[in-house]
Chains A and B, each alone.
Chain A
Amino acid sequence: MVSRTPRIDTGMSASFIASAVIHLAVFLLLAWSGRLLPLQTPVQETYYVDVVNLPTANPSSGAPAQKPAESEAAPPPPLLTPPAMALPPSVTSPKAVSKPPLVPVPHKSGAADAAFAERMAKLERSAEARREEAVFDTLRSKVKTGGSSKIGMPGAGGAEAGSRYGDYIKSRLEDALKVTSSYSTKNPEVVVRLTIAPDGRLSGVKIERSSGDAAFELAVRRAIDLASVKFTVPPGRTVYENGFVFKPRSISSGTSR
């Protein structure tokens, strides 16, 4: 059996009071010297310049406003003196051979302009490359989803309106229905399943449902006839089959998908 001896808490001991006094003294000392909390924090200004969006014209040939003041001009590059001995041709950078030899530039500001222009051109090329890469990425993602690389054309597979084969067929059918549209009841509707062969030929037309308006049903069948002449081959030259709901469009209603 273990017996425990109770400890007596002495409360706010003398050591605590001594510690508080010492801390207060150190604080007052530092405050007096003014080093702990300086009254004014120096602000370091940082300027961000989007070099890609800078004017690309040669500053020296631009408008006076764009021309940098002489005092603000960038310091000229250090003059290169020709080496006493000809250096051997660089093996690692064959392009350097074709480059014109660097000679002292008599006009100091011209050299600065050329360097600046070169930098700008490099930045532009890099920005252009990034933009192209973004476009290519979009196209690649469309190809991955099954369409071709032709946006808005039959076979494309993008998500944008007009970029799917179904949208292409819809467009052809709507053009044809504008010519043949005729109906005698209030809200006629015909549901048709179309099958398009790999060669683009309309190989199947099945009326799945009709509201019973003979005039509109005839208009739909004539529209399909008219449109099918212009059908192109389905993507991947495979059989395309889909259902289409034909409705007349009133002034107040629009199309919806």
Chain B
Amino acid sequence: MKIFLALLLLLASSASLYAQSGYIEVTAPGNRQLKMAVAPPRSLDVSPDSASAGIASDVIAYDMNLSGLVAAEIHTEQSADKGFPPADIDFVPWLSAGFDMLVRSEYSLKNGRLTIEFRLFDVINRKLITAKRYLGTAKDLRRVSHAFADEILLALTGEKGPFTTRIAYVSTQTGNKEIFVMDWDGHNPLPLTKNGSINLNPAFSPDGREILFTSYKRRNPDLYRRSLSNTAEVAVSRSKGLNITGSWSPDGSKIALALSKDGDAEIYTIGKDGSHPTRLTINPALDLNPAWSPDGKQLAFVSDRLGKPQIFVMNADGSGVKRLTISGSYNVNPSWSPKGDKIAYSRMTGGGFNIFVIAPDGSSDTQLTFDGSNENPSWSADGRFIAFGSKRSSGNGVYVMRADGAGQAKVSHGKGGHFQPVWSAR
């Protein structure tokens, strides 16, 4: 009884910590998703290209809707406001239509040169939140629109969005397994490899300029490094046996990978040029699929040393190995979140796989996907989203969802299969 009373007192004291120290509680009823109106850009030219300009509002509305922070909709201008300053804007029609935010833009497209200015307004407070002007060419319109969507998230949440980043993935579009790169929303897919062989496990360098991948183009699964800006490609590891699941360290100085030159697959680290291989795991079982923690001090990896594949965590020097996943009989594809607070992975459930997240201490193991078979999770640079490959009734391909599993949307397009997505850094 005394213990119960003591616990009750402890709970009460912690709950009223802020009340005791003079904090005033402010509460209000109601919860609704914020509404954002995205007005198509106005042309400042004599002969406007309104069809092209409409892309800007499409991109911003799509990005903001996937963010889950606001419900964005493209909305034609309701007033005859001519100016940009808040004083020149009649917010009343927007307010009466229930909008909280308004994105307006003006552009000029002359001789292929694009100038576009975006502004985000708070309709309720009647004030300008953020504004940006971008200069480029006509083909940059999608990119600058994504860039302003990043700025919107920065203004509203204090953290920039990932909308200008890209996703690398494996595609069978050409009949072979080639590495492709696309915008995060699936636009502008471009083949990175065209070797007609099997190419797997892409991984972006921390600066986003290079990609690691495993290719069978020389009949052995070797690890290659390829530039995104040109065709330069070098072999990083061509040891006998497997050279797979390469992963760049956060500082870009090392690469962790699985090598089977000693018989069974073991985790090694090598320099980014393939030098100084260091063996981290010494175990007769398979150890592969290393994933760096964002501080570079730990690695998560897959091992079947206990009979079935499970996720383990160890220090970057191979010490302190401990088992992370204790539920499920088949857990693979670990991916450490950019903030370091979660590890996403795939677990075999029933006949397929599903995406789960777990805290690095093994707590809060949570299932995020429930439809179809879902594998290879990869975090966006800001930790808001997870890309993954999915086979489901609504279509196979690369999907994106928010970190809590909400807002799942297929982003890859085109024929063939698309899988093993990996998200670039900013």
Chain A residues at the B interface, C-beta cutoff of 8 Å: 166-167, 169-170, 173-175, 177-184, 191, 214-215, 217-219, 222-223, 225-226, 242-251, 253, 255-257
Q: Hey, which chain A residues are within 8 Å of B32, CB to CB? A: 181-182
Q: Is the CB of B26 within 8 A of A246?
A: yes
Stretch at the interface among B122-130, B162-170, B310-318, B322-330: B122-130
Using CB atoms, name the residue of chain A closest to B25: A245
A256 to B33, CA, bound (A): 26
Q: Is the CB of A244 within 8 A of B30?
A: no
A223 to B22, CA, bound (A): 21
27 A-B pairs, CB-CB below 8 angstroms? A167-B24, A170-B25, A174-B26, A177-B26, A177-B27, A177-B28, A179-B124, A182-B31, A191-B23, A214-B157, A218-B69, A218-B156, A222-B100, A242-B24, A243-B18, A243-B23, A244-B24, A244-B25, A244-B26, A245-B24, A245-B25, A248-B28, A248-B30, A248-B31, A256-B19, A257-B24, A257-B25
What's the minimum C-beta distance from A254 to chain B, rounded to whole angstroms? 8
Q: Hey, which chain B residues are within 8 Å of A215, CB to CB? A: 33-34, 69
Q: Is the CB of B27 within 8 A of A248?
A: yes
Q: Is the CB of A256 within 8 A of B25?
A: yes
A191 to B33, CA, bound (A): 21
Chain B residues at the A interface, C-beta cutoff of 8 Å: 18-19, 21-34, 68-69, 100, 122, 124-125, 127, 156-157
The one of B18, B19, B22, B31 in contact with A181, judged by C-beta atoms closer than 8 angstroms, is: B31
A56 to B223, CA, bound (A): 107
A257 to B27, CA, bound (A): 11
Going nearest first, the 4 A-B pairs with the smallest beta carbon separation are: A177-B28, A249-B27, A243-B23, A178-B28
Q: Hey, which chain B residues are within 8 Å of A247, CB to CB? A: 25-27
Q: Is the CB of A174 within 8 A of B18?
A: no
Q: Is the CB of B24 within 8 A of A166?
A: yes
The one of B19, B30, B68, B156 in contact with A257, judged by C-beta atoms closer than 8 angstroms, is: B19
What's the minimum C-beta distance from A181 to chain B, rounded to whole angstroms? 5
Q: Is the CB of A242 within 8 A of B26?
A: no
Using CB atoms, name the residue of chain A closest to B155: A218
Q: Is the CB of A255 within 8 A of B27?
A: yes
Q: Is the CB of B28 within 8 A of A174?
A: yes
A245 to B22, CA, bound (A): 10
Given A182-B34, A215-B34, do A226 and B24 touch, yes or no (CB 8 Å)?
A: no
Q: Is the CB of B24 within 8 A of A180?
A: no
A249 to B32, CA, bound (A): 13
Q: Is the CB of B27 within 8 A of A174?
A: yes
Given A180-B100, A226-B124, do A218 and B25 touch, yes or no (CB 8 Å)?
A: no
Using CB atoms, name the residue of chain B closest to A220: B26
Q: Is the CB of B29 within 8 A of A181?
A: yes
A243 to B22, CA, bound (A): 7
What's the minimum C-beta distance from B364 to chain A, rounded to whole angstroms? 13
Q: Hey, which chain B residues are within 8 Å of A170, CB to CB? A: 24-26
Which of A170, A174, A215, A244 is most buried by chain B, counting CB atoms within 10 A of its CB? A215
What's the minimum C-beta distance from A94 to chain B, rounded to whole angstroms? 59
The one of A177, A218, A250, A257 in contact with B34, judged by C-beta atoms closer than 8 angstroms, is: A218
Q: Is the CB of B34 within 8 A of A191?
A: no
A144 to B129, CA, bound (A): 44
What's the minimum C-beta distance from B383 to chain A, rounded to whole angstroms? 11
A177 to B100, CA, bound (A): 13
Q: Is the CB of A243 within 8 A of B21?
A: yes
What's the minimum C-beta distance from B16 to chain A, rounded to whole angstroms? 9
What's the minimum C-beta distance from A255 to chain B, rounded to whole angstroms? 5
Using CB atoms, name the residue of chain B closest to A215: B69
Q: Is the CB of A225 within 8 A of B28?
A: no
Which of A169, A170, A184 is most buried by chain B, counting CB atoms within 10 A of its CB? A184
Q: Hey, which chain B residues are within 8 Å of A214, CB to CB? A: 69, 156-157
Which of B28, B30, B69, B124 is most buried by chain A, counting CB atoms within 10 A of its CB? B28
What's the minimum C-beta distance from A146 to chain B, rounded to whole angstroms? 15
What's the minimum C-beta distance from A223 to chain B, rounded to whole angstroms? 8
Q: Is the CB of A180 within 8 A of B23?
A: no
A169 to B22, CA, bound (A): 14
What's the minimum C-beta distance from B418 to chain A, rounded to whole angstroms? 29
Q: Hey, which chain B residues are within 8 Å of A177, CB to CB? A: 26-28
Q: Is the CB of A182 within 8 A of B24?
A: no
Which of A245, A253, A255 is most buried by chain B, counting CB atoms within 10 A of its CB? A245
A191 to B18, CA, bound (A): 9
| A214-B157, A222-B124 given; 16 more Cβ-contact pairs under 8 Å | A170-B25, A170-B26, A173-B26, A177-B28, A182-B32, A222-B100, A223-B28, A226-B124, A242-B23, A243-B23, A244-B23, A244-B25, A245-B26, A248-B27, A257-B24, A257-B25
Q: Is the CB of B27 within 8 A of A217?
A: no
What's the minimum C-beta distance from B406 to chain A, rounded to whole angstroms? 8
Q: Is the CB of B29 within 8 A of A245?
A: no
What's the minimum C-beta distance from A250 to chain B, rounded to whole angstroms? 8
Q: Hey, which chain B residues are within 8 Å of A243, CB to CB? A: 18, 21-24
Given A173-B26, A222-B122, A256-B25, do A245 and B34 touch, yes or no (CB 8 Å)?
A: no
Q: Is the CB of A184 within 8 A of B68?
A: yes
Q: Is the CB of A249 within 8 A of B29?
A: yes
Q: Is the CB of B28 within 8 A of A182?
A: no
A199 to B68, CA, bound (A): 39
